[in-house]
Amino acid sequence: MNEQNAMKPYVIGLDLGGTNSVFGIVDARGEIKATTAIKTKAYDNEEDYVNASIDALHIIIDQVGGIEKIKAMGIGAPNGNFYTGSIDFAPNLPWAHDHSVPLAKMFSERLGGIPVGLTNDANAAAIGEMIYGVARGMKNFIMITLGTGVGSGIICNGQMVYGSDVLAGELGHVIVRPENGRPCGCGRRGCLETYCSATGVARTAREFLEKSDTPSLLRDMNPEDITSLDVSIAAQKGDKLALEIYEFTGELLGEACANFATFSSPEAFVFFGGLTKAGDLLMKPLVRSYNEHVLKIYKGKAQFLLSALDGSSAAVLGASAVGWDL
């Protein structure tokens, strides 16, 4: 830790989600020293949102000894733009859905001018893994978040790949089934996230239930109500159809990762998000499929890792890591 870090030993992390905005004050080892939260959607405009955030933050900043102890702030947010520090047209945020909000600048001005960096949530997760998590010390890895959708953050040569417009790393929208793929929310068909997200698993369940007669615990449910968690619970009880659903999901994700390897030949793929709770149900077919599908020169090389950051704090840690990286 250098002298400046010793005097300013903390960064603020903000995990700005569609529902909650969680703040944490984090030290260089990834220990959360104080935390607080506000409701993201309870505000009509960005000024009110920032005012409420600053009120909440002052309390936890005082707990760690005041703003003098804070080096920087990092924000992970949907549609966050690292180059401009703004949130651009985020469909799920009432105060940012129809314009661009210069959130990094607004926070910096209200926090005595400390540097504030903002990036999207998947990129923040990748930086978090590199600084505090299972990818510590790695220069080349791909982070894939498997939640409601599929997000990604790509690290090459020890740097985040932002691309020409900060919009790089949308691997959830790689088209994995170019012929007769599933319709995606993005308006196209066959995107990875229509198969390998939590909602993708639920879609697979409905498809498999319809096209087969295999008995299954899932048949006791209204097909529209089935979630990936239900599938995972059934699979853990040995339900054959549920196991097939995870086989299919892992198989397709492994095939996709095999294609990603040709791009950046990563040392590891790191997975995070709700779907990873299925553990080996997902990871075993994934790794097997990867090694079956990948070009020979890459075979058996990449590690497949689950994020070891605690789920509830990982997003805040990821956001805070952006602060260390400024």
Shortest spacing between CB 295 and its own copies, in angstroms:
5
Binder among 65, 91, 112, 163 for its own copies (CB under 8 A): 163
Residues 218-257 that bind its own copies (CB under 8 A): 255
Shortest spacing between CB 262 and its own copies, in angstroms:
4
* Other CB atoms within 10 Å distance of the CB of residue 310: 11
Q: Which helix (H) or strand (E) holds 57?
A: helix 46-63
Strands 116-119 and 70-76: parallel
Whole-number Å distance between alpha carbons of 127 and 275 = 20
User: Is-contact 73 117, C-beta < 8 A?
Assistant: yes
8-state DSSP, 194: H
Binder among 162, 195, 272, 290 for its own copies (CB under 8 A): 162
Binder among 62, 295, 311, 312 for its own copies (CB under 8 A): 295
Whole-number Å distance between alpha carbons of 283 and 289 = 10
Quote the tokens at residue 51: 């005012």
Shortest spacing between CB 322 and its own copies, in angstroms:
16
User: Could you say whether residue 214 binds its own copies (CB under 8 A)?
Assistant: no
Region from 100-108, 179-187, 200-208, 222-230 binding its own copies, contact rule CB under 8 A: 179-187
Whole-number Å distance between alpha carbons of 31 and 314 = 11
User: Is-contact 163 214, C-beta < 8 A?
Assistant: no
Shortest spacing between CB 190 and its own copies, in angstroms:
10
Binder among 97, 139, 219, 237 for its own copies (CB under 8 A): 139
User: Could you say whether residue 143 binds its own copies (CB under 8 A)?
Assistant: no
Q: Which helix (H) or strand (E) holds 56?
A: helix 46-63
User: Could you say whether residue 174 binds its own copies (CB under 8 A)?
Assistant: yes
3-state secondary structure of 29: coil
Whole-number Å distance between alpha carbons of 166 and 163 = 5
Tell me the CA end-to-end span of the chain in Å, nearest whole number. Answer: 15
Shortest spacing between CB 186 and its own copies, in angstroms:
6
Region from 1-9, 57-65, 92-100, 288-296 binding its own copies, contact rule CB under 8 A: 288-296
User: Could you say whether residue 54 binds its own copies (CB under 8 A)?
Assistant: no
Binder among 27, 46, 207, 267 for its own copies (CB under 8 A): 267
User: Could you say whether residue 188 binds its own copies (CB under 8 A)?
Assistant: yes
Residue 5 contacts by C-beta under 8 Å, 6 or more apart in sequence?
28, 71
Nearer to its own copies, 29 or 296 (CB): 296
Residues near its own copies (CB under 8 A): 139-140, 154, 156-157, 159, 161-171, 173-179, 186-188, 255, 258-260, 262-267, 293, 295-298, 301-302
